[in-house]
Amino acid sequence: MGFPEKFLWGGATAANQCEGAYNVDGKGLSSSDVMTAGSVDRPRQITKEIVEGIYYPSHNAIDHYHHYKEDIALFAEMGFKCYRFSINWTRIFPNGDEESPNEKGLKFYDSLIDECRKYGMEPLITISHYETPVGLTKYGSWVNRKCVDFFVRYCDVIFRRYNGKVKYWLTFNEINCIDSTPWTAAAVEAEDYASHMIAAYHQFLASAKAVQLAHKINPENQVGMMYGGIFSYPNTCDPDDVMQNMAYMQKELFYCDVQCRGYYPNYKLKELERKNIKLPVHEGDLEDLRKGKVDFLSYSYYFSMVCGKNTELKDTFKTGYKNPYLPQTPWNWTVDPKGLRYSLNLLYDRYQIPLFIVENGMGMPDTLEEDGTVHDDYRIDYLRRHIVEMKKAVELDGIPLMGYTTWGPIDLVSAGTGEMKKRYGFIYVDVDDEGKGSFKRYRKDSFYWYQKVISSNGEEL
């Protein structure tokens, strides 16, 4: 009983949210590097190029680029079995379309990976996590098929370079965000639905080719997809609410359907036909999609949603309903631990492949006490309750779960708002929303708690 012996406990970050050093050692500009800071009620702006005098949170972030040894040592102290991080595409191919890679970028990840392995930590690498090269916008980014080849070239370089040292890969972070946040997800400037569907098609194809390539280079490689965990309940048992909720879930799960099953589901084909959207399918593409099914499904889980007959299905995050049974964080995210077990069952019932929770956590403002401690009992409570439900899914429902990496084991820049004060870490980083601070690291109370969780393989919560 309990979690499997080799369960991958750990934490997850993204390069653009922690590395900083945005223009160091030959790195090019990524989609995140031109996004300003915002807040819960002030959206981040996209400036497309660097404007003097504006503060961009990714430029220094928490300076993990220069602190990675210290940070990984702290993860090791907590007993991490796995560290999920992303390779910043623009460190390897600064503009995305070069013929050959930037050696300094490759070297950085050599060291990062070696550092993980030194402590017996399995690297889990996201190949593209909100870091599309701005240099690709001249082609229309992912709306253009050229991006498939650029991406596969990038994959080829990193799969070969880190062959044997890295076994677990994820292609696109939260691939289902491409329609609601096309710039963040894919540096796509086009705003129309047809372009988004074409960009998604190209990402599916790129991912499927990457899966095949990874297997060819090393049959030990396992490649997963990454779903941005949208799970919603019907507002009432009114069949109209139920049907609208189904449509909402299909809008999101469509991405998993394609990547886990290897073909487009009928409901999506019919919708595209009704809207007169033609996918640019070339000979051999459909076979590639089938051959490039993912080995496992990873996803983020933070909250659940409610959807009903009055929901317009345009914006993923606005359904117009609140769940009266659930509390919310200051960033209006519901806290729904049972929803995690529900989501695990829903996804496993639908795909029957191994699952991996690669993000979960509570973003909160923390207080650093004068003695260097941080008392984050709210975070411990949130994580404990989610792990309890995850355990039930494994023990009682028999879900094959590969691991659990909490989001932001060390405080980092929020993707949604660009703030530092929306903190998720077990480790506090002294830097504020304007990028000011000592960048010193401090262990929070949750640090010691998670250490105990891992050493007891989830028995001591």
User: Is residue 228 within the footprint of ligand BGP (CB under 6 A)?
Assistant: yes
Among 115, 122, 131, 174, indicate the residue that binds ligand BGP (CB under 6 A).
Answer: 174
User: Is residue 173 within the footprint of ligand BGP (CB under 6 A)?
Assistant: yes
Q: Which is nearer to ligand BGP, 159 or 407 (CB)?
A: 407
Residues binding ligand BGP: what is the number (CB under 6 A)? 14
- Element (H or E) spanning 368, and its range? none
In 3D, which of 261, 232, 242, 235 has the Cα closest to residue 352? Answer: 261
User: Is residue 38 within the footprint of ligand BGP (CB under 6 A)?
Assistant: no
Q: Which is nearer to ligand BGP, 288 or 433 (CB)?
A: 433
312 catalytic, yes or no? no
Cβ–Cβ < 8 Å for 30, 89 = yes
Q: Which is nearer to ligand BGP, 137 or 184 (CB)?
A: 184
What letter does residue 240 receive in the DSSP assignment? H
In angstroms, rounded to a whole number, what is the distance separating the alpha carbons of residues 131 and 386?
A: 29
In angstroms, rounded to a whole number, what is the distance separating the alpha carbons of residues 416 and 391?
A: 29
Q: Which two tokens stand for residue 61?
A: 């972030």
Exactly one of 252, 359, 389, 419 is catalytic; name it. 359
Among 300, 311, 316, 406, indicate the residue that binds ligand BGP (CB under 6 A).
Answer: 300
Segment 367 to 396, residues that bind ligand BGP, using CB under 6 A: none
Choose the stretch contacting ligand BGP; rule: CB under 6 A; options: 60-68, 94-102, 408-416, 434-442. 408-416
Exactly one of 174, 252, 389, 419 is catalytic; name it. 174
- Residue 320: C-alpha distances to residues 63, 206, 308 (Å): 38, 34, 8
Among 75, 201, 356, 407, indicate the residue that binds ligand BGP (CB under 6 A).
Answer: 407
359 catalytic, yes or no? yes
Among 8, 14, 34, 82, indicate the residue that binds ligand BGP (CB under 6 A).
Answer: 14
Residue with tokens 């030990």: 220
Q: Which is nearer to ligand BGP, 14 or 249 (CB)?
A: 14
In terms of DSSP bridges, do strands 427-429 and 441-443 run parallel, antiparallel, or are they unpaired? antiparallel
Choose the stretch contacting ligand BGP; rule: CB under 6 A; options: 254-262, 270-278, 305-313, 411-419. 411-419
Q: Which is nearer to ligand BGP, 128 or 244 (CB)?
A: 128
Among 140, 337, 363, 435, indicate the residue that binds ligand BGP (CB under 6 A).
Answer: 363
Sequence-ordered alpha helix ranges (H) in 262-319: 266-274, 285-291
Burial of 95 (0-12, 13-18, 19+ CB in 10 A): middle
CA angle 340/345/347 to nearest 5° reads 95
In angstroms, rounded to a whole number, what is the distance separating the alpha carbons of residues 70 and 110?
A: 16
Burial of 303 (0-12, 13-18, 19+ CB in 10 A): buried
Binding string to ligand BGP for residues 412 to 441, with x set by CB under 6 A, is what? --xxxx----x-------------------
Q: Which is nearer to ligand BGP, 203 or 417 (CB)?
A: 417
Q: What are the catalytic residues? A: 174, 359
Interface residues with ligand BGP (CB under 6 A) are: 14, 17, 173-174, 228, 300, 359, 363, 407, 414-417, 422
